[in-house]
Amino acid sequence: MKQLDLIIKNGLVVLPKGVTRQEIGIKDGKIAFVEKSIEASAEEIVNAEGHYVFPGMIDIHVHFNEPGREEWEGFSSGSAMMAAGGCTTYFDMPLNGVPSTTNTDALYQKASIAKQKSIIDFGLWGGLVPGNVQDLSALSDAGVVGFKAFLSASGNEEFEAADDWTLLNGMREIAKLDKVLALHAESLPITEFLMDQKKRNGQTSADDYAEIRPISAEIEAVERALHYAAITGCKLHFVHISSKQAVDRITAAKQQGLDVTVETCPHYLLFNHQALIEKGAIAKCAPPLRSAEDQSRLIDCLLKGYFDIIASDHSPSPFELKDPEKYNLLNAWGGISGGQFSLMALIELALEHGIPLDKVAEWTAANPARRFHLESKGMIKKGYDADLAIVSLAENHRVSADNYFAKHKQTLYMDHSFPCRVIQTYCQGNLVYDEGSVKSGSGNWLQGKAIQLK
């Protein structure tokens, strides 16, 4: 009998303190050895010569829309797409599905579908909306990784924005449950007021959309939430932060002892408002892509280590909801499709700006695992899950409809050329993606607990 199931040889392994040539031995879905040379025998040996071995990405922010809107994206296509991008775990958001995940019945319905269809591991967010504070405890007990609330309109009437009373009471309850609240931080009064003005005047250009959701709306919502967190003791995670000014407020709150983390998304780092002007609704998201100057400031925040986590906010829809023949830019669906490209995007930024590759692994794997208490994930380490992405930095990946595995092929990233390519992805030792082909897999439902990042 062979001692190991798999040995990955000759790879440049991305470890927490740097990149070294190591061999990785895998047994029963776990990493059994990380050593210069492994003497044990194995059922299979993979030669990763010249390639880098990253911990599989943990993307804590995707929208797969099942049940109810599988035609937008579902767990089958969504998990395949993530695997093709080197992701081995994702957290699905509670909105866009019908019903939204705001009670345990909806949670179990979604979990049942995901367990049948997902080829990689997953966690599920619960929602905080007006009228469901009494449901939060049961959702917590049932295994949500945390809760999500919107401070502006979500775009779906099934998932209402949290008013201040809901937010304060919900945060107090979430603090008792020792969970984290993820927040879409844009001011509802500011965005609704500006939207009304633009619509009255018939102003629907890319510039008009950007002006409806200014940086000031993000700052106001961030500051308000931070004040509420100080009162309630609730742990916060700010999703898709798009401005240096908001990052500065969050960084100051951390320094004052608040338990808060912050993410941004690759599209805010690789693209700017010019993409919205040129490509229209394909590049529409909320908050919007910012100016080139603001993009540069956000990259500087990344370089200085102010972001804890990078996540995709993969938010797809059928193209008809973004079709300029049917919708003006203000009324088109707002969301960037691109969950497959986060790891490659971070590697591109690392190569361009001299960022160590272990920082890429920290943002995409180690910190998400630590924040949500996934004790056996996030690093290439003995005893941890064999969640791995083998990546070539000697080859480019040019995005096309043929190699994008999402249900709908329209994406801001179309024709973008990454200076790297995902070769293989392993989830708990199971090969789920190999050289352009998605394989079978059976993902596990993970139930996390938020801890403070030091």
Q: What is the mean pLDDT of residues 296-322?
A: 97
The C-alpha atoms of residue 141 and residue 131 are separated, in whole angstroms, by 19
Predicted confidence at residue 454, as pLDDT, reads: 44
Q: Where are the beta strands (DSSP E) in 265-394?
A: 309-310, 388-392
Mean pLDDT across the chain, nearest whole number? 95
The three-point CA angle 349-315-157 to 5° equals: 145
When pLDDT is cut at 50, 70 and 90, the band that residue 156 belongs to is confident
Q: What is the mean pLDDT of residues 181-191?
A: 97
Residue 84 near residue 118 (C-beta atoms within 8 A): no
When pLDDT is cut at 50, 70 and 90, the band that residue 356 belongs to is very high
Q: What is the mean pLDDT of residues 68-80?
A: 96
Predicted confidence at residue 271, as pLDDT, reads: 98
Q: What is the mean pLDDT of residues 54-81?
A: 96
- Specify the CATH number of the domain 57-371: 3.20.20.140
Residue 92 near residue 122 (C-beta atoms within 8 A): yes
Q: What is the SS3 assignment for 123?
A: strand
- Return the bridge partners of 427, or none: 430
Predicted confidence at residue 450, as pLDDT, reads: 43
The C-alpha atoms of residue 232 and residue 367 are separated, in whole angstroms, by 24
Q: What is the mean pLDDT of residues 321-336?
A: 90
When pLDDT is cut at 50, 70 and 90, the band that residue 449 belongs to is low
**CB atoms near residue 357 (< 10 Å):** 20
When pLDDT is cut at 50, 70 and 90, the band that residue 157 belongs to is confident
Higher-scoring residue by pLDDT: 452, 292: 292
Q: What is the mean pLDDT of residues 266-280?
A: 97
Per-residue tokens: 380:
């290439």
Q: What is the DSSP string of 382-433?
A: TTSB--EEEEESSS-EE--TTT--SSS---TTTT-EES-EEEEEEETTEEEE
Predicted confidence at residue 327, as pLDDT, reads: 84
Q: What percent of the chain is predicted at pLDDT more than 70?
A: 98
The answer to whether residue 33 scores a pLDDT higher than 80 is: yes
Residue 59 near residue 89 (C-beta atoms within 8 A): yes
Residue 193 C-beta-side C-alpha neighbours within 13 Å? 7
The answer to whether residue 192 scores a pLDDT higher than 50 is: yes
Query: Which of 24, 55, 56 has its CA nearest to residue 121?
Result: 56
Rg (the chain; Cα; Å): 21
Predicted confidence at residue 446, as pLDDT, reads: 95
The helix (H) or strand (E) run that includes residue 225 is helix 215-232
114-150 burial by CB neighbour count: b if 16+ within 10 A, else e? beebbbbbbbbbbbbbeebbebbeebbebbbbbbbbb
The C-alpha atoms of residue 166 and residue 61 are separated, in whole angstroms, by 22
Per-residue tokens: 399:
């995005």
Predicted confidence at residue 433, as pLDDT, reads: 98
Helix axes 215-232, 244-255, angle to 10 degrees: 20
Predicted confidence at residue 448, as pLDDT, reads: 55
The answer to whether residue 87 scores a pLDDT higher than 60 is: yes
Residue 247 near residue 309 (C-beta atoms within 8 A): no
Predicted confidence at residue 447, as pLDDT, reads: 78
The answer to whether residue 259 scores a pLDDT higher than 60 is: yes
**CB atoms near residue 445 (< 10 Å):** 15
Q: Which fold has domain 4-53+380-438?
A: Urease, subunit C; domain 1 (2.30.40)
Per-residue tokens: 29:
């879905």
Task: Pinpoint the residues of the chain covered by CATH 3.20.20.140.
Answer: 57-371
The answer to whether residue 340 scores a pLDDT higher than 90 is: yes
Which positions ≥6 away from 267 have C-beta within 8 Å?
Answer: 285, 289, 313, 336, 338, 412
> What is this structure's pTM?
0.96
Q: What is the mean pLDDT of residues 386-403?
A: 97
389-403 burial by CB neighbour count: b if 16+ within 10 A, else e? bbbbbeeebebeeee
Predicted confidence at residue 451, as pLDDT, reads: 39
Q: Which stretches of 143-214 are DSSP H helices?
A: 164-177, 188-201, 206-212
Predicted confidence at residue 275, as pLDDT, reads: 98
